[in-house]
Structures are given as structure tokens and as C-alpha cells.
A and B are shown apart, each in its own frame.
Chain A
Amino acid sequence: MFNLFKYSSPATFYPLAGRLAVGFGIASAILLVIGLYMSFFVAPTDYKQGEGYRIMFIHVPAAWMSMLIYVVMACWAAAGMIWHTRLSSMMASSLAPTGAMFTFIALWTGALWGKPMWGAWWVWDARLTSELILLFLYVGFMALESAIDDPRRAARASGLLALVGVINVPIIYYSVQWWNTLHQGSSIKVVDGGVETSMSEIMVWTLLVMTFACWFYTIAVALCRVRSIILERESGASWVKALLQERK
């Protein structure tokens, strides 16, 4: 039987993460080139917003990733609390900076999109405000973790924050349905088990390619980061010393 817990040991996960990171990094780069080409040259001009709408091909994947990464991060935090596996909290902390980056990109490109289309860089509606809270949650998670010296206590405190903050994710997602917002509703949504979209098909494909590029980028970067964290935390372990001997 394939034993998942075998890979929850940092010593076995470290070389695996290295190989996976390379694969996901290459896949991400290829998809990004295709996705950007489609965003600028293949996707048609919009009937209402002209060329300006193209910013959504980075805005929407970034916003999706900001929410998804947070949920994954909270799951790792929960796993770490339940099973007390060392690797889980390392995975959680390796995702946080990328999540914060995508949240910032979503907010920033949103402002750049909002000014020409709505007429304002920023409004305090439910969607924008809850996404800003998400950025604060990421920053808070990272700050709390780095403020506590003992890694196990740091993981518990920041993990609790990650878990509490996960409530914000459905609020972001459904904010445009639950309340009046200036932000438009979702163009792609799941209705009664089927997917409905109010975009032309090629736009949806472009969005998907860009989303997978961001997804693979996140996996690659998180794996690289978790390798550094493993080396840092396990620096006293014999396998790390053996690894260093090998490199010399």
C-alpha cells in the first residue's frame, strides 16, 4: 500500500519536493507563456469594456488563488494540530507569502481596473473590504509566526489564526451575492451542479490557462520554500548533516 505518512517525514519529503518543484515550475512557465499570449492576442475585445477588460486574466486567477491558498493553508494548519506532524505547519508557512502576494495582486489589479471602468480606485464594498481583510490575515499569520521563537508554539498560534480566518473565504466568495456591492457578480458559477458562465468560451479558456499557470507556480514556489524551512528546522538532524557531507 502506498503510505502517505512516509512522506510526512521531512527527510523523505525533502528530495521529493525538489523534484516536484522543478516539474511544476516548468509546467507553470509554459502555461504562463500560452496564457499571456491568449490574454493579449487570442481573446476578443469586449463589447462594453473594450481592451481594458483584459486585466481580468491576471486579476481573476490572482483572486481565486488568494482564496484557495488560504483554504489549503488552513487545512495544513488543522492537519498539524490534529496529527502533530512537523511537516504540516511547514507547508502552511510555506504557502503564506505566495497567498499574500496573490491577494496583493488581486487588490492592485482590481484598483487599476476599477479606475477606468467604475471611476474609482477603491470603494468600501463587501467584496473589496473582505479581500483586504484576507491580506491582513496573511500578513498577521506571517507576523505571528515569526514573532514566536519556538517553532512548535509559533505553529500552534499561527495555525489557530489561519483556522479562524478561514471563515472570511466564503464571505469573500459570496459577498457579491449576499450584499449590494459595486463589484460585479461571478462570471463563472456553479448553479445546481452545473457550471454557468456569462463569458465567451475563449475568454473562459484563457482564464483557465492563466489559473493553472498560477496554480503550478504556487506549488513550485511553496515546495522550494518548504525545502528551505525543512533545512532550517532540521539543521541538527543527522540526515541534513549527511546531505551537507555529500555536497562538499
Chain B
Amino acid sequence: MKSRHKRMVFIVVGLAALAGAVGLIMNALQSNINHFFSPTEVHANAAPTDRSFRLGGLVEVDSVQREDDGLTVHFRVTDNAETVPVTYTGILPDLFREGEGVVAQGKITSDGVFMADEVLAKHDETYMPPEVAEALEKAELAKAEAANGATAVEPAAVQPAAQPQEGI
């Protein structure tokens, strides 16, 4: 074995060992690296009850209620399996919307309400022009209607609307 091959093997083996070690550490610290707890984890008592933590998920549709002071807002955070009710007083970010992602920092009370002192919006990685979003929504509606009245509508008539991806 030439000495430059030895050095090559040394570097490759060294990096592999290091990657393995880092992988094990990351795995052990999994819960510390996660930025927030999901509602399912909160229900499974995985989240701390005595100190502040972050709760993340989607704002449940039709769950946002504002109090008369205009600042206090109640909503539910869901991960489509469990939900957690949240109360927050303050200004919400612009992207805070029903059905969109949210990460809230706060404490959970004994009656299971999450009292947030900070609410951040978590947006997804989808970007498109408004017209396309509108077209997609229409297609979605058409699909839903077709599904409701499946006997009334010919499947062939639904076909064009079912391919909204075109032209994006």
C-alpha cells in the first residue's frame, strides 16, 4: 500500500467514524433538537408541564375566536390527530391563518389550555402566483363536488379539473 493510499483510507475511515458518532449523538438528542412539540406529543404527556415549551402544528380551520379587546385570541392547534386549545394576547404575524402552520411558545395550564406568550407563523415550501392558487382551489372544489354527487357527474367531465398542475 502506498503512503498516499494509506492517507486516503485514513481520511475516509476517520470521516465515517465521525459521521457515525455524530449520528448517534443526534439520535440521542432527538427531542432536544426538535424545535417544538406536536399536539399528539402534548396529549401523550411528552411535553413539559412545569415550564415553557413550544407547540407547533396547524391552526385548526374555524377555531379562531377573538375577544372584544381585539388582542386576545383563542384557537386550536392540530396535527390532524390531536388538538390543543391555545390562548394568546398580542399581535399575530401576517401569515397567521386558519389551516396554516404555527409555532407558539408558552406554558400549558392544568386544564389543558396552552397560554402562549409568542406566536410565530410557519409557512410551507409552496410558492405560486395567486391565479394558480385560485385555479387549484377551484379544482379542489370541483373535485369535492364531484365526489359528493358522484352518480350525477360523469367522471370524464371531471378529468380536466383534476389536472390543475398544468401550466404551473
Contacts and interface: CB of A to CB of B under 8 A. Distances in A.
Task: Judge: A and B partners, yes or no.
Answer: yes
Interface of A: 44-49, 53, 56, 78, 81-84, 116-120, 123-126, 163-164, 166-167, 171, 178-182, 184-187, 198-201, 203
A199 B34 contact: no
A199 B127 contact: yes
Q: Secondary structure at chain A's binding surface: helix, strand, loop or mixed?
A: loop
Given A118-B122, A199-B128, A203-B127, A180 B94 contact: no
- How many B residues touch the partner, as a band? 35 or more
B129 interface: yes
Closest 8 CB pairs of A and B: A119-B93, A44-B129, A47-B133, A125-B35, A187-B125, A47-B130, A184-B125, A180-B34
Given A48-B95, A180-B38, A166 B122 contact: no
Contacts of A84: 4
Q: Secondary structure at chain B's binding surface: helix, strand, loop or mixed?
A: mixed
Contacts of A116: 93-94
A5 B119 CA distance: 57
A126 B32 CA distance: 10
Contacts of B7: 81-82
Given A48-B133, A78-B11, A164-B18, 14 more contacts: A47-B130, A49-B123, A49-B127, A82-B7, A118-B120, A120-B120, A179-B33, A180-B56, A185-B124, A185-B125, A198-B125, A199-B127, A200-B127, A200-B132
A47 B132 contact: yes
Contacts of B134: 47
B6 to A, nearest CB: 9
B168 interface: yes
Contacts of A119: 92-93, 118-121
Nearest to B14: A163
10 contacts: A48-B95, A117-B123, A119-B120, A126-B34, A126-B35, A167-B18, A182-B36, A187-B125, A198-B126, A203-B127
B159 interface: no
Contacts of B95: 48-49, 117-118
B126 A199 contact: yes
